[in-house]
Structure 1
Amino acid sequence: MDTLIMVSIMTLVLFVSSGSARAATLIVSNQMQRRANVSVFVTCHGTIPRTSTSIPLGQVSLVKIPPTSGQNATDDISPTAGENDKPARSRVSQWASCVGTFGGEAQFWPSERIYRLYNSDKDSTVNIVVAKDDGFYRWDNVKNSLYKCPMIIFI
């Protein structure tokens, strides 16, 4: 990975991880080489409203996924709240998922190449994604390497 892009990504990771919000964040870098005129799109659904972000070639972008959205977000009552106390409440995040596509916002057509980038049920709050000519790759903190994101296949 280019040194300048890596420094930019690490700076964004430090900036994002220093915040106190529970919002998840994708740091997406468009590093395509052969397809220079194609934008990368990250589309997140499960959030209200549905969001789509374009990342031009050579750019690094921060995609924030809201911690709570819509009517499906719920309140939890704290188990330490006393009988006469007002219950302490915390917001529980609604499910969200983000996909990556080349050239346009995800429409979920059978012929479209869509890659799963984020799933709130399985992924951490800060995720690094790199778009290359042959697909999307995520950074694995345990193995210290990139692995290819799975493509969604319609049957």
Structure 2
Amino acid sequence: MKIALANDHAGFALKEEIKQLVEEEGHEVVDFGTHDEESCDLPDFIYPASLAVAKGEVERGIFVDGVGYGSAMIANKIYGLNAAVCQDPFCAELARSHSNTNVLCIGGKIIGSAIALKTVDVWLNTAFHEEEKYKRRVEKVNRIAEKHLKEI
């Protein structure tokens, strides 16, 4: 799978650890940065990574900032993206299996790397439940996006 990674200065260190895990699992990484801990503006990195997911240039995205919510706010403004903030493996499993998310947002100031890496691993390796009730719910969310967001 091809995965977009993006972060701000607060998420840099954890993003680097996640990058190593994702590559070790055999996925291709496209790193949108930032590439250091110098203060920066989150949208400068999350927005291009989000566009890559929306355009199908990558299959999924993993975004890391201080808390995770800033990344999710940006990603969820883009048509075709369903981003969830997950701070533990249980939430990551449900975000994939019940909601078919294609972007995972993590707070580098919220959780340690051991939990973060397990969260990423679970999210990457959990399939969407193809049961009718989950399909129906995701489709309802997608219809809302179709009414209010511009397709890229």
TM-score under structure 1 normalisation?
Answer: 0.27
Rg larger for: 1
**Which structure carries more strand by proportion?**
1
**Which structure carries more helix by proportion?**
2
TM-score under structure 2 normalisation?
Answer: 0.27
